[in-house]
Structure 1
Amino acid sequence: MSSSSTTRHSPHRQARRGTTGAYRLVRTLPGSVDPPLLDAAQRAVVDHPGGPLLVLAGPGTGKTTTLVESVAARVAQGTDPARILVLTFSRKAAVELRDRMAARLGAVRGPQATTFHSFCYALVRAHQDADLFADPLRLLSGPEQDVTVRDLLAGQLDLEKQGHAHIRWPDELRACLTTRGFADEVRAVLARSRELGLGPDALADFARRTGRPDWSAAAEFLAEYLDVLDAQGVLDYAELVHRAVLLAERPEVSALLAGQYDLVFVDEYQDTDPAQVRLLHALAGNRGSTPGGGGGRNLIAFGDPDQSIYAFRGADVNGILDFPEVFRRADGGPAPVGVLTTSRRSGDRLLEATRLLTRRMPLTRLPSAKVRAHRELGAVREGG
């Protein structure tokens, strides 16, 4: 391996020639980078005195820089990095945040930056009942879940032909049980049910109230599906978050988490689903409340309500729209809303074109002045 190829792919390592002529890898600590120049809107977020805060941040507005600088400011003020939690939605984003925080803080150990699912897995694993599960719980991949659902549906069809079926699907759906499309629909119902905190009994009650025999059958299928997963010692991603929420809402676990983290950051908050919002409320919404007040915990969420595009996987834009009311200040008032108002990615001509569209968009439940500021970005450079 040449020294040039080693240093190119491993920026924090250097290849040095030893006495025998062979190369060896030597880890070098990254040096801290100089703090960036922040605009007034970014500085207001970094200087937030405490409590919940929602930051409206569109593409190219310096959101990640603002988040990293907020973390650096808290560490400089004496907060232990281990008591700061940063949550995001993809492994790639989590790695980028860890790298940027490490570079900004230099030799100081950075805070935990992880995905929601990784955090949930660690929480469930830490409280896993050793008597029930000898081995660590395994996460079910998407293809594995698809196979499991299709096998269960096919098995039900076989039982029905033998006159032993215990799940009664409506006649108009019975011919679809073995199709991939129907299995996908069932998977979606299972996932959305768990994201909303619904178990088989609650889903069955809802089906009866709404007169939906297909949902009643889905409730029975959900019970069987969960039994199969438990027998195999596996969890799908929706069930993982659901169980983490149930754990985090237990008083003793909630107290433990509240004592573990002083500050929680969330990136891409518009992509949260109801279960993840409940998890955040357990993490940062309960401690320090006053009668009639909110939790008052230090929770800073960055998001763009005009960019919520993951409804197909359970994301609910109401999470960001309801943030000020759900995560209230300790005095009971709604959480404040900040706005990053400068685009560093798009030129003024492109921003002028986007304004022609955003001016026709209805205002959301968030403060109207903040939404307008979020949509009327200023440019740092001219051109397209």
Structure 2
Amino acid sequence: MLTLRRAPSLSAQAPILDQAQAAAVAHRGVAQHSVATQGRDAGVLRVLGAPGTGKTFTVVEIVVDRVCRDEVAPDQCLVLTASRTAAADLRNRITARIGGTTTEPLARTHQALGFSILRQGAALRGDPSPRLLSGPEQDLILRELLAGHASGEGKAPRWPEQVHAALATRGFRTELRDLLMRAVERSLEADDLAALGVQHDRPVWVAAAQVLAEYDEVTAFSRPGSYDPAWILGAAADLLEEDPEAQERLASSLRLIVVDDAQELTPAAARLLEVIHSPHVGLVLVGDPDAAVQTFRGADPSILGADHSRFGVGPTITLATSHRQPEALRAVTHRVTRRIGTLAGGTHRELEHATTGGRVEVRLLRAASQEAALIAAELRQAHLLGRMPWSDMAVIVRGQGHTSTLRRVLVAAGVPLAVPSAEVPVRDEMAVRPLLALLEVVLNVAMGHADPIDTQTAVDAVLSPIGGADAVGLRRLRRALRRDELDSGGGRSGDELLALGIVAPNTLGMLGSEGAPIRRVAKAIAAGVKAARTVNSSDTAAGSDRPDGGEGLRWAPGVTAEGVLWAMWDATGLGESWRR
């Protein structure tokens, strides 16, 4: 059943601004209002504020004021932020306030801006449109490089002994990719990274430098016109610096640049911003240097803090009114934050105005179940006795692992829940992860590998939504397989029999209802193998689609990963039940 819900209405009424917000909205650079100073740098306005002081609210009103009062076209305003979610929210709020739409996105991420610059440059040159490499593609390239080193292809990097066991794991590739991307964002070549590794006694950096050089060669040869997210900003800045016409064309289309959450700026994003910023373009940086959450991805809050003068000279306005935290909560948080160092002097932490009221209590309990019961009682009391709507309540937990008990207790207590979905990569979604694992098994079976599946993958598949077994069902299945094995004089373990039964269901014998999970998994694999048709490479023209890159079997024409995955998904039969 498809349920349509009306999107929440966004306010289009002019809000009431506090004194600091009004000053930020009214600010104009000298080059924007004085003909006599034409050609001078308009400088930069820096707006700092603690959480809840209305920073993003101020961003919206700055853009609206320029459009309505200065008659700046909305397409001449550019709002940059750190995430797609924040950019979408800003677009909705700004367009609701100005009462119209734009031909270009009003708000976008730094990477989206860099990609649009590269795409426009390629279109004007007549080149193919650039393409963004996804995280899974990067992971695949690194996996192939590391696997080639392990098999003796080329000269392998000299990895330290303590990381040898991790070289084949996804976690290691993820950390390696982060290291390479941070190096690229800082315009470091492979030799530069190796030199830093020697200088700081980091042998892992030295080994990673060789991988970086090979990675560059592979992507340039096999994926021309493709860019990593970390490469985009540097490539866009290089393009503008090397092509003055492109830089002038972009600058002439802008009158205002506002950066929300500027504490999340990376060195590459700051460089691109410096290249774009022109004397006639107003620049406003808004943020809180204490609140950077993307530092593990290269964000440098000191760019908004002590280093903001790199963009030009200008005033700093501090938002000093707390619109979110009442006095009681503010007093508690202030006792904590005053012990933490700051990158911008800390003046933005000293709030002058806060709403009265608020209540803070600390409760220590013996178990998670007692904690959940207390929370449920507090919420019900606020709703039934205090007449507070459920939509005005929120429960904040440290992570997803703490929510299972809490959700169960709240539902049992009659508290309605709306849990926001976590932003996780598609490959890590519960419904996707087993399909990708079984896809690899299908390809191994289709190519005739002797051991197409390992025992851990088999166990995970049976316990996944595809198999549908729980821990008790898995134990019964192992016992049944083991019993039949012993009766026939064999000695294989239950997990070994499980892996064999998934790819060869004819070995399952006379299993009863306890064998249903393994049969569901085997059915999905059989459907995938049927879709992954192969032909003898000697019967077809030579090409690059041999799965093993050599002689033997190759995929039949028309076989795609999408087609195989769809056949597997269709065979699971989960679509209809999940739709209901």
The TM-score, its normalising length taken from structure 1, stands at 0.80
Asked if residue 112 in structure 1 is aligned to residue 97 in structure 2, the reply is no
Give the C-alpha shift of residue 321 in structure 1. 1.4
CA contact (8 A) 1:358 1:375 kept: no
- 1:359 maps to 2:338: yes
Equivalent residue number for residue 178 of structure 2 = 188
Q: CA separation in 2, counterparts of 1:322 and 1:373? A: 14
Q: In the alignment, residue 75 of structure 2 is paired with which amino acid? A: A
Give yes or no for the alignment of 1:349 onto 2:328. yes
Deviation for aligned residue 1:297: 4.7
Q: 1:275 and 1:62, CA in 2 relative to 1: closer, same or farther beyond 3 A?
A: same
Amino acid at match of 1:142: G
Query: Is the partner of 2:208 in helix, strand or coil?
Result: helix
Check conservation: 1:55, 1:338, Cα contact below 8 A.
Answer: yes
2:263 to 270, 286, 300: 270
Q: How many equivalent pairs are there?
A: 341
1:355/1:52 CA distance change after superposition, 3 Å:
same
Following superposition, the deviation at residue 132 of structure 1 comes to: 9.8
Amino acid of the structure 2 residue aligned with 1:114: R
The aligned residue for residue 6 of structure 2 is 9
Question: Counterpart in 1 of 2:301?
Answer: 317
Instruction: Report sequence identity in percent.
Output: 38
Letter in 1 for 2:274: H
| Cα deviations by residue, 1:302-343 (Å, 9 ceiling, x for unpaired) | 1111111222111112221134321222xxxxx321111111
Q: Which runs of 5+ in 2 are unaligned?
A: 30-42, 360-580
SS of alignment partner, residue 96 of structure 2: helix
Q: Judging changes above 3 Å, is the alpha-carbon distance between structure 1 residues 224 and 58 closer, same or farther for their aligned structure 2 residues?
A: same
Partners of 2:249 and 2:101 lie apart in 1 by: 25
| From 199, 220, 227, the counterpart of 1:235 | 227
Matched-pair contact (CA < 8 Å) for 2:322–2:353: yes
Q: Tell me the amino acid that sits aligned with residue 346 of structure 1.
A: Q
Q: 1:138 aligns with which of 123, 131, 134?
A: 131
Amino acid in the other structure paired with 1:192: R
Distance 1:229 1:374 in 2: 46
SS in 2 for 1:128: helix
Amino acid across the alignment from 2:108: T
Match of 1:328 in 2: 312
1:18 aligns with: none
The two structures, once aligned, show a CA RMSD in angstroms of: 2.9
Q: What CA distance in whole angstroms lies between the structure 2 residues aligned with 1:373 and 1:279? A: 27
- Native 8 Å contact 1:87 1:113 kept in 2: yes
Q: Which residue of 2 aligns with 1:291?
A: none
- The equivalent residue for 1:332 is none
Does structure 2 retain, via aligned residues, the 8 Å contact 1:54–1:323?
no
| Contact 1:123/1:244, CA 8 A, preserved across alignment | yes
Give a deviation string over 1:190-243, Cα, whole Å, max 9, x none: 011011111223323434544544323322211211222222243221122221
Partners of 2:194 and 2:50 in 1: how far apart? 40
Residue by residue over 1:147-191, the C-alpha shift from the partner in whole angstroms, topping out at 9 and shown as x without a partner, is 22122111112125xxx4264445554454223333223112101
Contact 2:254 / 2:281 at 8 angstroms: preserved in 1? Answer: no
Report the counterpart of residue 128 of structure 1 in structure 2.
Answer: 122
Report SS of the residue matched to 2:151.
Answer: helix
The residue correspondences of 1:120-269 to structure 2 (distance < 5 A) are 120-128=114-122, 134=128, 136-159=129-152, 164-165=154-155, 167-170=157-160, 173-210=163-200, 212-230=202-220, 231-233=222-224, 234-250=226-242, 252=244, 253-269=246-262
Contact 1:203 / 1:219 at 8 angstroms: preserved in 2?
yes
Aligned residues of 1:324 and 1:337 also touching (Cα < 8 A): no
Q: Distance in 1 between matches of 2:62 and 2:141?
A: 44
2:319 maps to 340
2:54 aligned with 1:62: yes
Aligned amino acid, residue 223 of structure 1: A
What secondary structure sits across from 1:127 in the alignment? helix
State the distance in 2 between where 1:357 and 1:74 align: 38
SS in 2 for 1:38: coil
- Measure how far apart 1:113 and its partner are: 1.2
- C-alpha distance in structure 2 between counterparts of 1:11 and 1:346, whole Å: 24
Residue matched to 1:48: 27
Q: Describe the shift of the 1:130–1:112 C-alpha distance in structure 2 as closer, same or farther (beyond 3 A).
A: closer
Change (3 A) 1:211 1:128: farther
Counterparts of 1:275 and 1:220 in 2: how far apart (Å)?
A: 22
Higher relative contact order (CA 8 A, sep 6+): 1
Say if 1:204 and 1:305 are closer, same or farther in 2 by CA, change over 3 A.
Answer: same
* Residues 195 and 275 in structure 1, CA contact (< 8 A), matched pair in contact too: yes
CA contact (8 A) 2:47 2:316 kept: yes
CA distance in 2, matches of 1:376, 1:198: 41
Q: Whose Rg is larger?
A: 2
The answer to whether the aligner puts 1:99 opposite 2:89 as a matched pair is no
Aligned 8 A contact 1:272 1:315 in 2: yes
Structure-1 separation of matches of 2:293 and 2:209: 28
Q: 1:372 pairs with 325, 347, 371, which one?
A: 347
State whether residues 289 and 342 of structure 2, in contact with CA within 8 Å, keep that contact through their aligned partners in structure 1. no
- Alignment partners' CA distance in 1, 2:204 and 2:338: 42
Report what 2:464 is aligned to.
none
C-alpha distance in structure 2 between counterparts of 1:121 and 1:191, whole Å: 16
Cα distance in 1 for partners of 2:275, 2:135 equals 28
Letter in 1 for 2:334: R
> Do 2:263 and 2:288's aligned partners in 1 also have CA atoms closer than 8 Å?
yes
1:90 paired residue among 65, 78, 83: 83
Distance of 2:75 and 2:351 partners within structure 1: 37
Kindly indicate whether the alpha-carbon contact (under 8 Å) linking 1:87 and 1:265 is maintained by their aligned counterparts in 2.
yes
TM-score (norm 2): 0.54
Cα offset for 1:267?
Answer: 0.7
- Letter of the structure 1 residue corresponding to residue 249 of structure 2: L
Contact 2:290 2:342 (C-alpha < 8 Å) held by counterparts: no
Q: Deviations over 1:33-73 (max 9, x none)?
A: 22101010100100112230111122221222211111111
Which position in structure 1 is the counterpart of 2:480? Answer: none
Paired residue secondary structure (1:321): coil
